[in-house]
């Protein structure tokens, strides 16, 4: 039988190519301005890039230790204790991963067994549900309230069972752009108290938070930190999504299980980048100024969007702006976005793609991690809608 006739029984029969790849490809085909996929179109810090280069030229090119370069783990411990006043032990509680995505996948692989229920809030970042399903877990999908994307805690209480193994949090949220408040923390504490429920807290946008609001990391609350795996990404912090470096934090016993899988999945992550990032984040200013940088971008993009017929939704964090288009069209968000790329030359993401049931509030997501000139050129096109 020729090789190409061989059919693999799919483990994810209902998954196709992600909406990000689809929209980016469509944008390229139509030479559209791509505000769909979440990546900056400006360069990372020149000194950081030069530093990676220096480490490469100085021979730091072989396998890093399995859990990550110690210098970087120590720098992360310093950053976390500076921001949240909690100490994670670099030896046993911090692991460097190939981006946030691998951290999430590995954490789920380590903790989720056949039949375990995992609460996931929708709209949900696209890698959550497949990772749970691939490990025999059952995603329990709960929609956030529209339009402020807050958590419906009454619904959460109803859906928690004795099979609930994990609650996934995304704070700040993509694509919700909302953040957790004190009240949410209290609810989480109440619901998990006396249970063995774990929290997988995707905090990849931890540094991109606006209007002087505080990022309520799980690391700040001891009883939550004790049951949490916290995921972070240097791609978001350093404008280097292509480097695919992130990390996770977890109490030692949980981390030991995560590392058992991590070692067989990637073994370890790019060495020279780890050294350069360690030096870079040892200077607090390099992570504390990022919120102001992106707030200026958000405000500029909002001011520009006001010239169009889009209605703007509130954004507390992340580098995305949500907008509704009810004054322009009543078609479904996917067809609206598809037409917008082809006819208007601007790509965005339809938010229904982040729901299992394609819930459609006629809302689309723009990425404003772009040069001012890119945003301005996009708005010139969108004004015509």
Q: How many Å apart are CA 76 and CA 248, to the nearest integer?
A: 10
* φ/ψ (deg, to 5) at 233: -140, 130
CA atoms within 13 Å, Cβ hemisphere of 157 = 9
- Cα of first residue to Cα of last residue in the chain, in angstroms, is 54
Task: Scan residues 95-124 and list those touching ligand PMP (CB under 6 A).
Answer: 99-101
Min. distance of Cβ 188 from ligand PMP in angstroms?
18
Q: Which is nearer to ligand PMP, 90 or 246 (CB)?
A: 246
Task: Scan residues 208-247 and list those touching ligand PMP (CB under 6 A).
Answer: 233, 235, 241, 246
Min. distance of Cβ 18 from ligand PMP in angstroms?
10
Q: Confirm or reject binding of residue 322 to ligand PMP (CB under 6 A).
A: no
By three-state DSSP, how is residue 300 classified?
helix
Task: Scan residues 46-85 and list those touching ligand PMP (CB under 6 A).
Answer: none
Min. distance of Cβ 204 from ligand PMP in angstroms?
4
Q: Which is nearer to ligand PMP, 168 or 379 (CB)?
A: 168
Residue 177, CA distances (Å) to 19, 171, 229, 321 in order: 18, 8, 21, 7
Residue 39, CA distances (Å) to 27, 192, 213, 244 in order: 14, 35, 23, 12
- What is the 8-class DSSP label of residue 21? H
Closest Cα partner for 89 from 107, 106, 111, 73? 73
Q: Which is nearer to ligand PMP, 269 or 334 (CB)?
A: 269
Mark residues 261-290: x for contact with ligand PMP by CB under 6 A, - for none.
------------------------------
Q: Confirm or reject binding of residue 174 to ligand PMP (CB under 6 A).
A: yes
- Report which residue's Cβ sits closest to ligand PMP: 99
Q: Which stretches of the chain bind ligand PMP, using CB under 6 A?
A: 38, 99-101, 125, 170, 174, 202, 204, 233, 235, 241, 246
């Amino acid at each position: 039988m020729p090789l190409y006739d061989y059919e693999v029984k799919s483990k994810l029969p209902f998954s196709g190519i992600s909406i990000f790849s689809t929209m980016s490809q469509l944008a390229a085909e139509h030479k559209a301005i791509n505000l769909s996929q979440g990546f900056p179109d400006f360069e990372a810090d020149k000194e950081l890039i030069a530093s990676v280069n220096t480490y490469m030229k100085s021979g730091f090119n072989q396998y890093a230790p399995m859990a990550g370069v110690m210098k970087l783990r120590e720098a992360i411990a310093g950053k976390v204790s500076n921001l949240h006043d909690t100490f994670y032990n670099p030896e046993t509680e911090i692991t460097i991963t190939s981006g946030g995505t691998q951290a999430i996948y590995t954490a789920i692989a380590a903790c989720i067994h056949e039949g375990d229920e995992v609460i996931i809030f929708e709209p949900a970042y696209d890698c959550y549900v497949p990772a749970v399903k691939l490990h025999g877990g059952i995603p329990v999908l709960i929609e956030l309230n529209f339009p402020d994307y807050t958590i419906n805690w009454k619904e959460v209480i109803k859906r928690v069972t004795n099979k609930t193994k994990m609650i996934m949090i995304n704070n700040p949220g993509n694509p919700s752009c909302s953040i957790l408040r004190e009240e949410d923390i209290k609810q989480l504490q109440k619901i998990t108290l006396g249970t063995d429920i774990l929290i997988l807290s995707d905090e990849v946008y931890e540094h991109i938070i606006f209007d002087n609001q505080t990022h309520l990391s799980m690391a700040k609350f001891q009883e939550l930190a004790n049951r949490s795996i916290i995921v972070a990404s240097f791609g978001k912090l350093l404008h280097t999504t292509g480097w695919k470096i992130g990390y996770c934090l977890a109490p030692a016993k949980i981390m030991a299980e995560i590392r058992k899988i991590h070692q067989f999945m990637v073994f370890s992550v790019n060495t020279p980048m780890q050294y350069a990032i360690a030096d870079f984040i040892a200077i607090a200013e390099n992570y504390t100024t990022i919120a102001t940088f992106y707030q200026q971008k958000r405000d500029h993009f909002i001011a520009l969007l006001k010239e169009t017929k889009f209605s703007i939704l509130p954004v507390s964090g992340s580098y995305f702006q949500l907008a509704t288009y009810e004054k322009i069209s009543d078609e479904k968000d996917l067809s609206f976005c598809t037409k917008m790329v082809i006819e208007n030359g601007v790509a965005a993401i339809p938010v229904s793609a982040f729901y299992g049931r394609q819930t459609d509030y006629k809302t689309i997501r723009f990425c404003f991690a772009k040069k001012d000139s890119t945003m301005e050129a996009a708005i010139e096109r969108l004004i015509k809608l």
